[in-house]
Amino acid sequence: MPRKRHELSLNEKIQVIEATNEGATQRAVAQKFEVFQTQVSRIVHSKDKLLTEFQSRVKLCRKRARRQTHEDIGDALLEWFSLAKSKGLVVNGTMLRQKAKDLAILILGVDFVPSLSWVVRWRERHAIKLLGHCESQSYCDFKTAQDWKTSIWANIKTRYSASDIYSCDETGPYFRKLPEKETLVVDQKFTEHLNILIATNMDGSDKLKLLVIGKHKETHRITGIKKLSSNSNAWVNSVLFQDWFKGIDDRLQKQNKKICFLLDNFLAYKIDDKEFKCIEFVFFPSNISPFVHPLHQGIIQKLKHRYRGRMLQKVSTLIEANERATAAEVVRSVSIADAVNFISASWNDVSVETIQSCFFRALSSTVCDQPFVVFLPEEIPHGFTEKTYEEYIKVDEMLVIGGIPIDTDISKIVKSSDDEENV
């Protein structure tokens, strides 16, 4: 018998109800929870009310709130979700679970595997509703997209030829990432990324050299790129963006040529367009980018498909040369120079036909219901199914969000908040 009465939380009361429903006696339950049997009796008598309260998702603990073990992860996930939503990306439950897992490594240094119920509770706590593909209008306004095409885009295409209409966007591959079946998934070293700015014109006749941004300068010889820049976050900021466009504008002035650039409406892309004499900047409305951005229609996915194939081939070759080595060991030898050269070669692989098709899919007045074919069945590497290979290609899809903080920066924000609370 307990020495003194103590009040059970709502969560514990639900456990009491579940125990009695499973056949346990009230006396046994009272001993387990160290309460008087009369308390158990009252809980059982009020179970309908308690279950209703529980299902309404009131706070499960009425005592003074204590910081939960994984509350930091939830805070970071909310920050990431808000940024993803601002970009107009549709997020599903699988993405949330994977992102929570990645953030746990950064924040707590643990291999946290969030359950489906954890994600559901997180969503309900923050009143987040995930929409299906056909319900994604709240993120991506179809009507706004169509209005933009019939007004802004209709005007642009009458003033510029296809060769003078360009678009650009960022992507940020984990350049040492291997498939999930490898143990590398829990190692922060293998979530290092490069941020890449990709640009091409509408007819595919001018694929600009890639702008690659990493956290550290690389002294190895790197070919086929415009520049290897570095900053502490490895993402494009307004200074880099302005400088990159200045180089393009200088070239155009020598050619006495003017072009139009279609791009996302993000903070990092806010540049002083008065400095540019030969470039007209047209920004997509913030919530229609997934529908009208040409690079989102398959160009970036095709680039990643080619890059992942080269990475797997590199690892396979190294293992064949040293049979005692593991994938986890050999992937460490993949340098930034290797990764950038793979990316450059993969960009060369993206065909004119692919580029033209993606621009058409994005900017045509008709809606294309057929998904873009990123890879053919015969291109799937050994050991993958179509689904698992597609997941591998998309593993870093949500990393870079147009010049806004990535996972590492989000973790710093959350940790900083914790430090302030502890002062």
Q: What is the mean pLDDT of residues 408-420?
A: 49
Q: Please say if the pLDDT value at position 258 is more than 90.
A: yes
Q: Please say if the pLDDT value at position 323 is more than 80.
A: no
CA 86, CA 104: separation in Å to the nearest integer? 23
Q: What is the DSSP code (8-state) at residue 207?
A: B
Best-predicted range by mean pLDDT among 179-193, 283-297, 303-317, 363-377?
303-317
423 within domain boundaries = no
Q: What is the DSSP code (8-state) at residue 22?
A: T
Give 137's pLDDT tier (boundaries 50, 70, 90): very low
Return the percentage of the chain with pLDDT > 90, whole number. Answer: 22
For residue 377, the tally of other CB atoms under 10 A from its CB is 6
Q: What angle do CA 301, 303, 307 make, to 5 degrees?
A: 115
**Which of the pair, 166 or 69, is modelled with greater confidence?**
166
Joined tokens for residue 423: 């002062």
Q: Please say if the pLDDT value at position 389 is more than 70.
A: yes
For residues 285 and 151, state if they share a domain: yes
Strands 195-201 and 279-283: unpaired
For residues 204 and 83, state if they share a domain: no
Contact 396, 173 (CB under 8 A): yes
356 within domain boundaries = yes
pLDDT tens-place string over residues 209-251: 998 876 555 534 444 555 555 444 445 567 778 888 999 999 9
Mean pLDDT score across all residues of the chain: 76
Ranking 88-97, 192-201, 228-237 by mean pLDDT, the lowest is: 228-237
Q: Please say if the pLDDT value at position 419 is more than 60.
A: no
Joined tokens for residue 406: 């990535």
Q: Please say if the pLDDT value at position 25 is more than 80.
A: yes
Q: Which of 66, 82, 110 is the last residue of a domain?
A: 66
Report pLDDT for 87.
58
Q: What is the mean pLDDT of residues 132-149?
A: 63
pLDDT tens-place string over residues 396-413: 765 544 444 445 555 554
Ranking 16-25, 54-63, 76-85, 182-191 by mean pLDDT, the lowest is: 182-191
251 within domain boundaries = yes
Q: Find the CATH number of the domain harbouring 214.
A: 3.30.420
For residues 264 and 398, state if they share a domain: yes
For residues 254 and 285, state if they share a domain: yes
Q: Which of 29, 50, 66 is the last residue of a domain?
A: 66
Contact 119, 98 (CB under 8 A): no
DSSP assignment of 298-346 equals: THHHHHHHHHHHHHHHHHHHHHHH-TT--HHHHGGG--HHHHHHHHHHH
For residues 107 and 38, state if they share a domain: no
Let me know how long the chain is.
423
CA 191, CA 87: separation in Å to the nearest integer? 22
Joined tokens for residue 118: 């954890």
Q: Find the CATH number of the domain harbouring 38.
A: 1.10.10.10
Report pLDDT for 338.
87
Rg (CA), the chain: 26
Structural domain for 80, as ranges: 71-135
40 within domain boundaries = yes
Report pLDDT for 257.
96
Joined tokens for residue 291: 């529908």
**Which of the pair, 324 or 67, is modelled with greater confidence?**
324
Report pLDDT for 256.
96
For residues 183 and 78, state if they share a domain: no
Number of domains, the chain: 3
Q: What are phi and psi of 199, to 5 degrees?
A: -145, 140
Report the candidate in 363, 346, 350, 299 with the shortest Cα–Cα distance to residue 162: 363
pLDDT tens-place string over residues 268-301: 566 778 889 999 999 888 767 778 899 988 999 9
417 within domain boundaries = no
For residues 151 and 246, state if they share a domain: yes
For residues 174 and 82, state if they share a domain: no
For residue 133, the tally of other CB atoms under 10 A from its CB is 7
Report pLDDT for 370.
61
270 within domain boundaries = yes
For residues 149 and 212, state if they share a domain: yes
Q: Please say if the pLDDT value at position 24 is more than 70.
A: yes
pLDDT tens-place string over residues 93-128: 777 888 888 888 877 777 788 887 788 888 888 777
Q: Please say if the pLDDT value at position 136 is more than 60.
A: no
Q: Please say if the pLDDT value at position 71 is more than 90.
A: no
For residues 406 and 392, state if they share a domain: yes
Strands 279-283 and 259-263: parallel
Kindly provide the b/e burial profile for residues 57-83, where b requires at least 16 CB atoms within 10 angstroms of the residue's own CB.
eeeeeeeeeeeeebebbbbbbbbbbeb
For residues 243 and 374, state if they share a domain: yes
269 within domain boundaries = yes
Place of tokens 């095709």: 302
pTM above 0.75, yes or no: no
For residues 39 and 181, state if they share a domain: no
Place of tokens 């941004």: 213
Give 59's pLDDT tier (boundaries 50, 70, 90): very low
Report pLDDT for 350.
96
pLDDT tens-place string over residues 300-310: 999 999 998 89
Q: What angle do CA 227, 266, 337 make, to 5 degrees?
A: 25
Q: Find the CATH number of the domain harbouring 117.
A: 1.10.10
Q: Which of 30, 51, 66 is the last residue of a domain?
A: 66
